[in-house]
Structure 1
Amino acid sequence: MAAAVRYVALGDSYSSGVGSGSYVAASGSCDRSTLAYSQLWTNANRPASFTFAACSGATTTDVVDNQVTALSPTTTLVSITIGGNDVNFAGVMQDCVLFSTSTCVSEIDAAENTARTRLPGWLDSAYSAIRSHAPNARVVVLSYPRFYDTSVWWCIGLSSTDRSKINEGADVLDGVIQAAAQRHGFAFADVRSRFAAGHEICDGSSSWLHSVDWTDLSQSYHPTAGGQSGGYLPTFSAAA
């Protein structure tokens, strides 16, 4: 189906598949999962080549320094999630669980300010490097989900103010990412509506997102295997 496609998956933990399990031992701390959306797409479409360069913890600087070398003029398709680590969004959300609502709100306000003022330039650097190394590729930039179903009043752990503020922060981050993608002529693929259809935190067993996991903090606020296959995979497939 995709015999002429040469696909490279870049990005952070949302693209490496943290939270979905089944990690490839050889990927080390990058935690690349066989259940990540890029691998699932590759399994279904069988491109001519697939390079899995996404890495847990990656920032825009890591994309420029360590990931774009996987690209070439023969690359035809690129996917990426990036930007969340640049504003420490996962760390902020963990603090929202650990500390007071006022702390949560102030930390998210600070992250939003960084997203609005500094992240555009960082994204421009990363996206320019991608285009420079892969001048002929279709580049698909995927969003982050909103995290909490705010319509569920019985959700344990965070106040409704915290949950709404976290969602607001995700929307600000995604808005900055979407604008940057459009500046560079990249496709923006938004996963939020798929997760919002009953698959956010507080939606019980149907949730596609991990809440804070005290046994493995690294997967907190990351998609489950269901979030990769049900949220990210179809969103990417529609844009690829």
Structure 2
Amino acid sequence: MKNSACAGARRRAAAGIAGAAILLSGCSTAPAAGPPSDSTTTTAAASPDPTSTSSPSPTPTPEPPRPSGWLEEITGDVGRLAILGDSFAAGEGADDYQPAVSGVRDSCHRSLHPAAAELFAPQNIANLACSRATTGHLTAQQRLAVTDSGAGPNTDPGTVPAQLEQLRGFEPTLVVLSVGGNNLDFAGILQACLLETTPCSDDPQLAAHAAEQLSALEADLVDAYAGVAAAVSAPVLVLPYPQLFDEPDGDCGRLSTAEQRFGRDLINDLNAVIRSAVDSSSAPNIYYVDAVEQALAGHGACSPEPFVHAADVSGLLKAADSFTANQELLHPTSAGYRAMTAELVHWAAEHPVPQ
């Protein structure tokens, strides 16, 4: 049953996501390895606006989702969750990161609180996703990023094995997968919105390159889904990327209304390719969880109460000083991942039991 950006674009010397930090200056802000430990799940509190002169109201946190429908059966005492893919699968932005490399603080940023994790016992979760992962890292090792800004040029941060190799022997009852955005260098495109004289929304070359990369992505995704489906018998829930920007009603720091819409369209187009790849897959256990697309609606990066790590002045200063804060920008907060989990539960309640 099937249910219903751009690689290498305008790369700069600085990391693409660092450019996105400057790009979003002026937006509101709210406060992401192997299987996690038995730590109890906690929710990080949202950071208050440091410019406010009155007592700030905390960003609301969605209620803990409860499994329903077939998901209630599959998440029982013996339910085992495998998480594969990139930063949006790993839980980048949700804190409580567990090492992918034993005893080392690494750039995978595998959180204890990614989407779907609240539905399973912590000891029954294998979070094998890794920030910066592409479709190729499902079947090939991934070189990690250097997390220490003072490290020398010869520093080797190490590698992690292919995610499907790490999965061997775990035998999950459910797999959650999010991948594809890094194939397109989405952060690099947002950086172009800042650095180019011509607004990115008016740059036909950038738009054409994005379209070209998106058209090439579908075949990679189909191959990736086939590899995952062949490795497990469990349902594989493909999560789209949550829309990070609400419909704009004005400029957001240095990001114009037109550029916010450009970002919205890019995410929508990326999700359309992901959905099409799922529909094209011949694997019977691959499903597209469309409900997650709007999980952050009303709480986007430029909203008063964001469920996304956006960037005000304080956030930019932290990002300039901290590898972790820099990497978390434009990723959901713990509240954002809880909202994504809630939408996954709603989706499961409305769909038949996977066969």
Interval of TM-score (by shorter of Structure 1 and Structure 2): 0.7 to 0.9
Q: Say whether 1:189 aligns with 2:289.
A: yes
1:15 Cα deviation from its structure 2 partner: 1.1
Contact 1:20/1:36 (<8 A) preserved: yes
1:182 Cα deviation from its structure 2 partner: 2.2
Asked which structure has the greater CA Rg, the reply is 2
1:35 Cα deviation from its structure 2 partner: 2.1
Question: 1:124 is matched with which residue?
Answer: 222
Question: 1:56 is matched with which residue?
Answer: 131
Q: Say whether 1:19 aligns with 2:93.
A: yes
Contact 1:80/1:142 (<8 A) preserved: yes
SS of corresponding position for 1:78:
strand
Please, what TM-score do these two structures have when normalized by structure 1?
0.86
- Bigger RCO of structures 1 and 2 (CA < 8 A, at least 6 apart): 2
Question: 2:343 is matched with which residue?
Answer: 235
Question: 2:54 is matched with which residue?
Answer: none
Question: 1:172 is matched with which residue?
Answer: 269
Contact 1:201/1:208 (<8 A) preserved: yes
SS of corresponding position for 2:248:
coil
Q: Deviations over 1:129-179 (max 9, x none)?
A: 101111x11010001122222332253221111111111110110000011
**Structure 1's 193 and 103: CA in aligned 2 closer, same or farther, altered over 3 A?**
closer
- Aligned AA for 1:195? L
Contact 1:108/1:169 (<8 A) preserved: no
Q: After superposition, where does 1:58-207 map in structure 2 within 5 Å?
A: 58-65=133-140, 66-69=162-165, 70-71=167-168, 74-103=171-200, 105=203, 106-116=205-215, 118-134=216-232, 136-184=233-281, 185=284, 186-190=286-290, 191-196=292-297, 198-204=298-304, 206-207=305-306
Question: 1:8 is matched with which residue?
Answer: 82
Match of 1:29 among 96, 104, 107: 107
Contact 1:13/1:55 (<8 A) preserved: yes
- Aligned AA for 1:62? H
Contact 1:140/1:239 (<8 A) preserved: no
**Structure 1's 26 and 127: CA in aligned 2 closer, same or farther, altered over 3 A?**
closer
Q: Separation in 2 of the partners of 1:156 and 1:67? A: 38
Question: 2:159 is matched with which residue?
Answer: none
Match of 1:210 among 280, 302, 309: 309
Moved more, 207-216 or 125-134: 207-216
Please, what TM-score do these two structures have when normalized by structure 2?
0.60
Question: 1:223 is matched with which residue?
Answer: 332
Q: Separation in 1 of the partners of 2:192 and 2:250? A: 21
1:71 Cα deviation from its structure 2 partner: 4.7
% identical equivalent positions: 28
Runs of at least 5 residues in structure 2 that lack an aligned partner in the other structure: 1-74, 141-161, 320-324, 349-355
Contact 1:4/1:48 (<8 A) preserved: no
- Aligned AA for 1:223? P
Question: Aligned-pair RMSD on alpha carbons?
Answer: 2.3
Q: Deviations over 1:159-209 (max 9, x none)?
A: 11111111111011000001112222421113222212x1112212x1111
Contact 2:247/2:261 (<8 A) preserved: yes
Q: Separation in 2 of the partners of 1:100 and 1:211? A: 23
Q: Separation in 2 of the partners of 1:11 and 1:220? A: 18
1:95 Cα deviation from its structure 2 partner: 2.9
Contact 2:243/2:295 (<8 A) preserved: no
**Structure 1's 99 and 220: CA in aligned 2 closer, same or farther, altered over 3 A?**
farther
**Structure 1's 14 and 21: CA in aligned 2 closer, same or farther, altered over 3 A?**
same
Q: Separation in 1 of the partners of 2:229 and 2:194? A: 39
Q: Deviations over 1:208-238 (max 9, x none)?
A: 11235531331221111111112x2112334
